Structure 1
Amino acid sequence: MEISTFDIRRVPLLWPVLLWTVGLLLVRSDAVSISVAATLFLLIVSALLYLRKFQLAVVLLLGVAWGTIDLLQDASDMAVDQTWLNSDLQVTATVVKVEQGGSSLRLLLSDIERSDGESVGGKALLYLYGKRDLLPDAGQQIAALVRWRQPQNYRNPGAFDYRSWCFDRAIALIGSAKGDIRVIDDRVSLLEVARARIRSAIAFAGEREQGVLHALLLGERSRVQEPVSRVFSATGTAHLLAISGMHVGMAAAWLFALLWWLLTRREAWIVKLPVRNVAMTGGMIGAVVYAALAGWPLPAIRATLMLAAAVVAWQLTSKHESFNILLAALGLILLFDASAITSISLWLSFVATAALLLWGKQPERKQSLSWSQRIVTGLRMLFWSSLLAMLATLPIVVTTFGTLPLYGLPANLLLVPLYGLIVLPSALLGEVAAVAGAGVVAGALMQFSGTMAGAGIDLIEAISMLPAGTMYAVLPPLWLSLLYVAGMVAAGVIWWKQKKRAALLMLLLTLGGYLGFILQESDVDRPMWLVWDVGQGAASTLLLPGGEVLNIDAPGYEGSRFNGGTTVATGLRAVGQLHADVLIFTHAQSDHLGGALSLAEGLNWIGEIWLPDVPSAHGHRSVQRLITAGSAVRWLSRGDRVAGRGYVAEVLWPPKDYAPANRNNSSLVVLIRLSNGIRALFPGDIEAEVERQLLTGGLGPVDVMLMPHHGSRSSSTTGFVKQVQPGFVVAQAGRNNRYGFPDSRVVARYRESGAVFVNTADGAVLMELSALPALQQREPGISSRRDMALKWWQPW
């Protein structure tokens, strides 16, 4: 085997594209603060001027200027008048895309216009709950009564930046429909007719496999069932579900191979036609059609541009440096779409491809190879390419998905050939048959493709069940990722110099140090209480010295991809925790228990689960699923007492087998006494009736507590507040929630008692539970470059 070498003299685009990229990153990325970005910019420009690299300095300046202009242009599309918000408005809009997932339908809308003629420059997401019989088609124009809000972030440690995600997709408004929606123009484009035929053909596959085929062919990844999506992520094969470079390239390669085979059947065609160029152009056209039928998702656009650059370069000269082609494609993508600079899919594809070009092994050239030799060579190439891609993209995967795919290499070795050689080709043939109107043939092909896709799912499910098959990691800091990249590049350079042992040692040291950091949990010196921002729901966590983690509640809709359970699991990983010793669920309602399974599955291990010993909890579906999954459950009732490391928990309510008409009153009420004397009260959603019962039991003052029932006026009676006299009281409520929680009169009672009041609607609360509890809260403020750009257009 020969190792490919890198000749920088044949890559004239390296420094221009690198500096263009750096310029965009300094403007559009939030990886570093603005002050740090400005300092880096001045240092780089000064260095270039000192080295007399004036042209490169100009490229950097152009990158910064273009990034700024594009950012402000995007912000102008996102700017909306305050009159659009928090009131019911009659609007018309064009449906761009329809997504089904969880408990709702989601419509991506454009051309949004109010009844008074005012319009929005950007797009909007409209959620429909329980309206599946009213599903419109993409391309149709609808009218609806909608309440709009701007995209907001949950302000938690490690939280997903939803506002930035919406900004980069020009989504200015989020709304929910009031009542029915009406289709006022039912004309549908030929493209949408074709997509509808493809969906009908996909229906012949199994229910679980349909989601995979929707993702592969139509870019509708939201249809992939959550358990399936989770095992793809855990095994490092999630890239197979995204229409990215591999899928676009495969579509082009299969059509190229077909055209090549057809055009070489006759000698006259070989002589008269530029067979290679015709086949490559045909492959490119096939890739464009495939991406168009998928609805042109952003990864497909970028992959198509990259493929186009490669085809053009190849047709111009077959001796062109491959890495130069990759850089040209990157520069082209960032020129037309500056927001792609923060795209995870772009960098996953680019980094993996760059690693293969720089350090990939090329097979020895022989005059002829037998089929067995070709198979061995192909498997060897697949092994090396999978290994290189995994090592190169590891920091991106860990930072983005939070998982460490320990079995990623064997999983990819099994699934990439299966999906690339069987599932995708048969699905593409089914897609062609469906568009052509051959429904029976299309259905048979989709059924076969689904069966093969299902076999792949079974394989990675089995892999994920192996020891450490699903392994989560703590959120790595930026400096650690940069050190990892530096170490891997150093190992690669040493490998180029044929010092294989030294290169291997550098690789192992880099990989071992990185893994040691991301798998090491952190500890706290003093008890900490983290109350999460989860909207209109409840979730909080006690972090105790010695690594003890107690979590109370996790809201959400069962089966949804993102809910309070995933929020808490992600947040715990961000603060250095990969487990929970105890999961306490106060009662069996979705705003306290709906995210339980997501939380349990989002950690490396959990100890036991505490639940109220009442019928409503025993019969709840989420509880049954937890028990089926093997969770150890401790059923608690009034009078129970549990001692742990650094705490004692006293159960104050409910009585065993308590079954009130109002299920809120069956909430588990737990008083936790910490070893330093701090008393913390977690009352669930109890109301006035139960509060009176607790007062007769001699409930005394507490140091910190959650406000019962999110601050409803049906709870926190005057007598209850006077008796508990909390030092700090936290209301868990969603911003601008429709219930009006917490009630102003309730808040006034606590403040009159001397309590410090905090609301998670203003961000997650982090409190040090020492003799004098210290409070921190994540302030809303301006959190990103995008917010600053919006302030330019919205000075109010």
Structure 2
Amino acid sequence: MRVGAMGYFHNNIRPSVAKLLPGTKSWPSLVLVVLAAGLGMGLFHSFRQLPPLWISLLLCLVSLPLAWKWRHGVLLTLAAAAFSWGIWQAESRLAVHWTSARTFSVEGRISSIPQLGGRDYRFQLTPERWSGESPAGKHPVILQIHGSLPELPVVGQRWQLQLHSEALSTLPKSPFADLDRKRFWEGIGGVARIENARLLPPSLWNLGDQIAAARQAVLQATNMALDRESAGFVQALSVGVGNQLSPEIWQVYRDTGTAHLLVISGSHVAVVAGLILWLVQWGWRRIPWLVTRWPAQMAGVLASIPAAWAYASFAGMQIPGERAAWMISAAAIAWLLGRSHQAWQGLALAALLIVLGNPGAMVDVGFWLSLGAVAALVAVGYGEGGWRTLLRSQWAVFIGLLPILAGLFGQISLVSPLANILVIPLVELLAVPLALLGTLLALMDMEWLSRILFRLVAVQMDGITALLSALLHIPFAQVRTGTGRIWALLAATAGLSIFFLPKGWPGRPLALLGLVPLLVPAEGNTNFELRNLPVQSGMVLFWQKAQHSGVVTANLWKSATRREAGQGLSAVLQQKGLTRVSDWVRTDISTPLPALSAIHQWGPPGARNYPQNIGALSVCRANASDAPAGMHFVDLGKAVQPCILSWGAGPDLLILGDMDLATLQRFGKVGSLSFRQVKLAFAPASFVTAERAFLAGLMPNAAIHYAGDDPSGVWSWQNRHFVQSVSPVRAYWQIED
């Protein structure tokens, strides 16, 4: 229901009655101002090392006289000011110092939706009071917390926690996203484990405490009325908490391009603001004393502003909700002042204010997806027609975001427009209002009515999920495009931009030809490529040669390491446009979580099946008929041995499993290998000093890397040599412990 409050403002614009100051008409428009500030902030984010702040400040001072004589010179000043603002914000975050292995107490408020993994909760905490034992120096703005709690945690709750600080390197990393950069700009400057916890009582005079109490009441009411999965649907649509939905359900919505329906989007905020606007007008007109003193329309518009912000805060103040609240506020204020207002202006103002509050939003994928979707809707005039407009708007969102999704995630959903057309009316016109009404009744202690509405929402969402699952069985519902194909993305962007030409422009249907570059299958990599993925103390090596790919894993014993390995492998497969690997070599019985899909598996003989029933393990031995393509097992002549793989005629590459010094000495006596020819070798980080020294003497010409100690890297086979991709210089946001 995006036509709620915004549609009212758009259709009830009055001519401007406000007198502008003399000469103000020559000032740049709001859109140009935002573009100038965005250009300055974007230029700042292109630097990996912080420029000196004085240079940008000097540029601001130099450009001020120019702006006085030439009004458009103010754009240069704004760009320099935005550049300076980014540097200052980064320096304030770099001033934070974090020390690991310290025990201290802190009082703070939960600022992110807690995620439950096993028995531990993971969430972000905004500290309010530190104990004397806390790490010295400037304290982080946000802490990443994990551990068990005695009660259900909710966003906004205040807790007193006894924590044990951990190294920042324990936070998961991914080759698919720059998580270090994202955490830096979010202000996450520390990570800690919970040792003891106590929930602090809410304060009647604190708005944050009251919002947290209301959220907790809704969560408890839905959990009492429904099973876990059904309650998860209601919570996602009402308060933005989707952690009770299974990964399989999220996957269905992501694969059909409808995952935005399970988060608090701008449309949810517009529904609430529009409903409050209508209710206030309806009630105001029935009190003559109020109508004679203040128009009902003005009262309704004024009431929509706090309503939008109240619900955005109640839903966790996510970027789409904050963006919608700013847009509604801008449109309402313009209407109240009697000035004309366009959606582009509201969108530009919302983007500017969000980026000023958090400069790192410009490098957040969610920020651009939210703005891109709204921009596409504004471009086609969403809300100014019936079902034809709905159809056109979904095509606009699909086409506008398609190059971004293909470039970032390596896949596109061709059923996304159809899925959104079928599902959006059901969710936004039925499920969301029912969920919000049930939430209101639950807060008013009308339990039996809220249970009925919650059940209706759950039944409806179960049907929608079944419908989306059926759409995924349509041939070519999803197309994997791979990532890194810049030429295809540029060609697709140029072709699809034809769709947004003015109405009546000849050849607009040719925009569909922009899909062709993305649908061309990615060429296979003819050279051998090897990736060392960072997974703490474990070893995960991903390799690819032509159409063959494989994974070698070891020492994934810790639960955090297994989860990080699973995330890293999933990201690499998405980057390469793969659904599964050809070969999987396990040098022990540890495995990533979730378990990687593979055709073959290897491991030490006699090992028991993994608890998740992955399957039987075969023997790592020479001349194995099912060995990975291009690789060979090295046989030490023992019934039980660690996996050792060689590649190339030299051999040029050796990958060793975990072994002791005696096994290494037997390995050094293998006559079939010429160790002086080895150019690249990998071994687990569990090798001790004596084992590493022996291995270095055994292969004097090899570059030996110990997975778990060394950072991630990529090696490719070129001109009979391994060439490592040059790692960029450490960026300012990659904070060391």
Distance of 2:121 and 2:377 partners within structure 1: 40
Partner of 1:349: 370
SS in 2 for 1:641: coil
Partner of 1:758: 705
Out of 509, 512, 515, the position equivalent to 1:511 is: 515
Partner of 1:415: 423
Deviations 1:391-450 (A, max 9, x none): 112223233444311110111112211221122111111221222233343333323222
Out of 690, 711, 715, the position equivalent to 1:767 is: 715
Query: What displacement does 1:487 show?
Result: 4.0
Q: 1:585 to 1:334 in 2, by over 3 A?
A: same
Distance of 2:34 and 2:487 partners within structure 1: 23
Q: How does 1:573-584 map to 2 (within 5 A)?
A: 573-574=574-575, 576-584=576-584
Report the AA paired with residue 149 of structure 1. Answer: A
Distance of 1:653 and 1:101 partners within structure 2: 45
Distance of 2:63 and 2:626 partners within structure 1: 62
Partner of 2:197: 182
Deviations 1:231-277 (A, max 9, x none): 22211112122323122122223333444555567999878763333
Contact 1:231 1:461 in 2 (8 A): yes
Out of 377, 398, 405, the position equivalent to 1:390 is: 398
Report the AA paired with residue 499 of structure 1. Answer: W
Contact 2:562 2:593 in 1 (8 A): no
Q: Does 1:12 align with 2:29?
A: yes
Out of 296, 301, 306, the position equivalent to 2:322 is: 301
Distance of 1:325 and 1:637 partners within structure 2: 63
Deviations 1:107-126 (A, max 9, x none): 32223635346464433434
Report the AA paired with residue 692 of structure 2. Answer: V
Q: 1:335 to 1:182 in 2, by over 3 A?
A: closer
Q: How does 1:31-70 map to 2 (within 5 A)?
A: 54-70=70-86
SS in 2 for 1:596: coil
Report % sequence identity. Answer: 21
Flag structure 1 segments of 5+ consecutive residues without an equivalent.
Answer: 36-45, 364-376, 601-605, 625-632, 659-664, 704-723, 734-740
SS in 1 for 2:164: strand
Report the AA paired with residue 440 of structure 2. Answer: V
Distance of 2:152 and 2:674 partners within structure 1: 51
Query: What displacement does 1:390 show?
Result: 1.1
Q: Does 1:424 align with 2:432?
A: yes
Distance of 1:48 and 1:398 partners within structure 2: 42
Using the size of structure 2 for normalisation, the TM-score is: 0.81
SS in 1 for 2:414: coil
Distance of 2:66 and 2:184 partners within structure 1: 38
Report the AA paired with residue 186 of structure 2. Answer: R
Q: How does 1:13-162 map to 2 (within 5 A)?
A: 13-29=30-46, 54-81=70-97, 84-97=98-111, 99-103=114-118, 104-109=120-125, 110-111=127-128, 113-116=130-133, 118=136, 120-129=138-147, 131-133=148-150, 138-150=156-168, 158-162=175-179
Paired residues, number: 697
Distance of 1:75 and 1:725 partners within structure 2: 48
SS in 1 for 2:523: coil
Q: How does 1:214-363 map to 2 (within 5 A)?
A: 214-260=235-281, 274-317=295-338, 319-360=340-381
Report the AA paired with residue 505 of structure 2. Answer: K
Partner of 1:549: 549
Contact 2:105 2:133 in 1 (8 A): no
Deviations 1:582-639 (A, max 9, x none): 131416744x343424xx4xxxxx6x23244867554531516xxxxxxxx9955646
Distance of 1:244 and 1:469 partners within structure 2: 25
Contact 2:37 2:79 in 1 (8 A): yes
Deviations 1:346-393 (A, max 9, x none): 322322222222234776xxxxxxxxxxxxx63322211111011112
Partner of 1:678: 651
Distance of 1:743 and 1:53 partners within structure 2: 70
Q: Does 1:172 align with 2:189?
A: yes
Report the AA paired with residue 612 of structure 2. Answer: R
Partner of 1:708: none
Partner of 1:540: 541
Contact 1:309 1:325 in 2 (8 A): yes
Report the AA paired with residue 182 of structure 2. Answer: W
Q: 1:182 to 1:550 in 2, by over 3 A?
A: closer
Deviations 1:302-338 (A, max 9, x none): 3211221122223444753332333333334334443
Contact 1:229 1:238 in 2 (8 A): yes
Q: How does 1:598-617 map to 2 (within 5 A)?
A: 600=597, 608-612=599-603, 616=607
Distance of 1:309 and 1:648 partners within structure 2: 63
Q: 1:647 to 1:155 in 2, by over 3 A?
A: same
Q: 1:639 to 1:562 in 2, by over 3 A?
A: closer
Contact 1:553 1:586 in 2 (8 A): yes
SS in 2 for 1:306: helix
Distance of 1:284 and 1:424 partners within structure 2: 20
Partner of 1:719: none
Report the AA paired with residue 526 of structure 1. Answer: N
Cα RMSD for the two superposed structures:
4.5
Q: 1:766 to 1:153 in 2, by over 3 A?
A: farther
Query: What displacement does 1:99 show?
Result: 0.7
Deviations 1:504-553 (A, max 9, x none): 22x1333322x14xx53233343222222222222212222x33222223
Q: 1:186 to 1:478 in 2, by over 3 A?
A: farther
SS in 2 for 1:553: strand
Q: 1:106 to 1:559 in 2, by over 3 A?
A: closer
Q: How does 1:424-463 map to 2 (within 5 A)?
A: 424-463=432-471
Partner of 2:16: none
Contact 1:205 1:451 in 2 (8 A): no
Partner of 2:682: 730
Contact 1:105 1:128 in 2 (8 A): yes
SS in 1 for 2:539: coil
Report the AA paired with residue 161 of structure 1. Answer: D
Contact 1:747 1:757 in 2 (8 A): no
Contact 2:221 2:442 in 1 (8 A): yes
Report the AA paired with residue 746 of structure 1. Answer: E
Distance of 1:586 and 1:112 partners within structure 2: 47
Structure 1 stretch displaced more, 190-199 or 576-585: 576-585
Deviations 1:767-795 (A, max 9, x none): 334685424266473236x45xx7xxx9x
Contact 1:558 1:622 in 2 (8 A): no
Partner of 1:191: 211
Deviations 1:144-167 (A, max 9, x none): 2412323678777x4311111112
Query: What displacement does 1:765 show?
Result: 3.0
Q: 1:134 to 1:778 in 2, by over 3 A?
A: farther
SS in 2 for 1:252: helix
Q: 1:282 to 1:637 in 2, by over 3 A?
A: same
Distance of 1:580 and 1:95 partners within structure 2: 42
SS in 2 for 1:455: helix
